[in-house]
Amino acid sequence: MKLPDEAFVSRVRYDAIGVAGFIIPWNYPLLMAAWKVCPALAAGCTLVLKPSEYTPLTVLELCDIARKIGLPAGVFNVVCGTGATAGAPLAAHPDVDKVAFTGSVPTGAAVATAAAKGIKPCTLELGGKSPIVVSDKVDIDKAVEWIMFGIFVNNGQVCSATSRLIVHEKIAEKLLQRLVEETNKIPIGDPMDKELQERKGVIGPLVCERQMDRVLGFINGATKEGAKLLAGGRRSSKHKKGFFVEPTILLAKPEHTVWKEEVFGPVLAVVTFRDDKQALKLANESSFGLGAAVLSDDKAQCEKFAQGFQAGIVWINCSQPTFVQAPWGGVKKSGVGRELGVWGLDNYLSVKQVTTYVSPNAWGWFLKEPTSSKL
C-alpha cells in the first residue's frame, strides 16, 4: 500500500488465526458444522468441533469423510458431550485461539465469558424472534405461503424463523382465514415416510420430548395470558410415537410471552397494525435482531422497512432464503459477528501488517549525518 513516507513500503498478509473451537446446535447439525468447518479449513486453521449431544452422528460422519479423503490427522477433531463437560472446557481452553458458537442466548453468554477470559475472538449466533410485516398492498395467497414457510419449515426449529406476524388490520381477517385454512392442511408425520417426502410442506417431530414440552408450555401459557388460539395448539393425536406438535397460530398481544420469547417450534404469534410507523415499532420492540421480513407490492414501502428494521438480515417479499455468498448474523441479543461469504472467512484470518524500510540511507535517529557504507 502507498504510504506518505517513501522510505517505507507496507503490505498486509492474512494468517490462519490458529485453533478454532466450535460449538453447534441440534437443529441443523450438518449445515451448522459446514458453515464453520469450511471457512476455517480454507483459512488454514485446525479445529475442534463439539456437536449437540442430541445430534452428534452427522458431524461424526463428516469427520470420518474428511479422514477418508486424506485430511491430515489432527486437523479436524470432534469432541462429544454435554455443554458442561465438553462445550465449556472447549471455549475456555488456552490452546483454542478462536471460538464460534450457535445456540441460545444464556449459553452464548457463558461461551463469550469463557472466551473473554482468554482474550480470544468469539463469533456468536444466538437465535431470534424475527418479525414478518405484511402490508395491505400484497397478494394474500403469496403472502400466506411465505408466512407459512417462514415459521413452519424444519418444524419451526429455525433460529431466524419469522415467528411474529405483523399484519395490516385492513386485510387481517381475510389473510388469517386463508392462513388457518392452509395451516390445517399441512400433513404431520414421519419425515422418512416416502409419501410425505414427496410433499414440500410437512411437519415432522421436534428433536426431543423436552423440546416438545417446552413448545407446548409456550402455547398453554399464551392461552392463559389471553391469546386466541386460531389453529393447532396440541401434541398431534395421530402419532403415539415421536414428539409431534401441530402447527399453531395464536392471535396475541405485544405483552404476551409468546410474542417476546423464542419458542423454537411451529408456533406463529400474530398482531395487527394500522400504519407503517406502528408496524416498525412492533417489529423492533424485541431483544433479538437476527432476521426481519416485509411483504408488500410497494417498493418504496419495502425499502423503508429494510432501512428501519433492527436486524442483521432483511427479506423483502420472502422469508428464510439463505445463500452462502451473503453475510449471516444479527444484532442485539441475536449475536456478534457474521458467518458465510467473505465475512465468514475473515473470522479465521489474522491480519498482519508488514512494513519495510527501503531507503538506501540510514534512518538518522541518533546519527547527525546520514551515512552509508560499501562492502
Active site residue 159: yes
Q: Please compute, for residue 361, the number of CA atoms within 13 A of its CA located in the half-sphere on the CB side.
A: 10
Phi, psi of 202 (to 5 degrees): -140, 140
Q: What was the pLDDT predicted at 230?
A: 98
Cα–Cα distance measured from residue 252 to residue 223, given in angstroms and rounded to the nearest whole number: 9
In which residue are the cell numbers 524500510 written? 357
Catalytic: which of 159, 246, 262, 339?
159
| Residue 225 clears pLDDT 60, i.e. is over it | yes
What is the per-residue pLDDT across 341-367, written as a single tens digit (0 to 9) for each?
999 999 999 999 999 999 999 888 886
Cα–Cα distance measured from residue 345 to residue 296, given in angstroms and rounded to the nearest whole number: 34
**How would residue 372 be classed by pLDDT, with cut points 50, 70 and 90?**
low
| Residue 98 clears pLDDT 70, i.e. is over it | yes
Q: What was the pLDDT predicted at 190?
A: 83
Which one, of 144, 215, 131, lies nearest residue 185 by Cα? 144
Length of the chain: 375
What is the sign of the dihedral through the CA atoms of 117, 333, 331 and 23?
A: positive
Long-range contacts made by residues 270-273, C-beta under 8 angstroms, separation at least 24? Answer: 270/165, 270/166, 270/167, 270/176, 270/230, 271/164, 271/165, 271/166, 271/167, 272/166, 272/167, 272/168, 272/169, 272/172, 273/133, 273/166, 273/167, 273/168, 273/169
Cα–Cα distances in angstroms (integers) from residue 45 to residues 16, 38, 93, 97, 298, in the given order: 5, 10, 16, 10, 46
Catalytic: which of 45, 63, 122, 125?
125
- Residue 11, all three cell numbers: 503490505
Mean pLDDT of the region 221-226 = 98
Mean pLDDT of the region 67-74 = 95
Domains of the chain and CATH, by start: 18-126 (3.40.605.10), 131-316 (3.40.309.10)
- Residue 255, all three cell numbers: 405483552
Q: Which residues pair with 47 in a beta bridge?
A: 20, 76
Question: Are the beta carbons of 239 and 209 closer than 8 angstroms?
Answer: no
In which residue are the cell numbers 506518505 written? 4
| Residue 270 clears pLDDT 50, i.e. is over it | yes
Mean pLDDT of the chain, nearest integer: 95
- Residue 315, all three cell numbers: 427479506
What's the CA dihedral at 78, 290, 243, 57 to 10 degrees?
-10
Active site residue 246: no
Mean pLDDT of the region 5-33 = 96
**How would residue 375 be classed by pLDDT, with cut points 50, 70 and 90?**
very low
| Residue 166 clears pLDDT 50, i.e. is over it | yes
**How would residue 312 be classed by pLDDT, with cut points 50, 70 and 90?**
very high
Share of the chain above pLDDT 70, in %: 97
**How would residue 191 be classed by pLDDT, with cut points 50, 70 and 90?**
confident
Mean pLDDT of the region 206-217 = 97
End-to-end CA distance of the chain: 32
Cα–Cα distance measured from residue 288 to residue 331, given in angstroms and rounded to the nearest whole number: 7
Q: What was the pLDDT predicted at 175?
A: 98
What is the per-residue pLDDT across 252-261, written as a single tens digit (0 to 9) for each?
999 999 999 9
Residues 6+ apart with CB under 8 A from 341: 324, 325, 326, 327
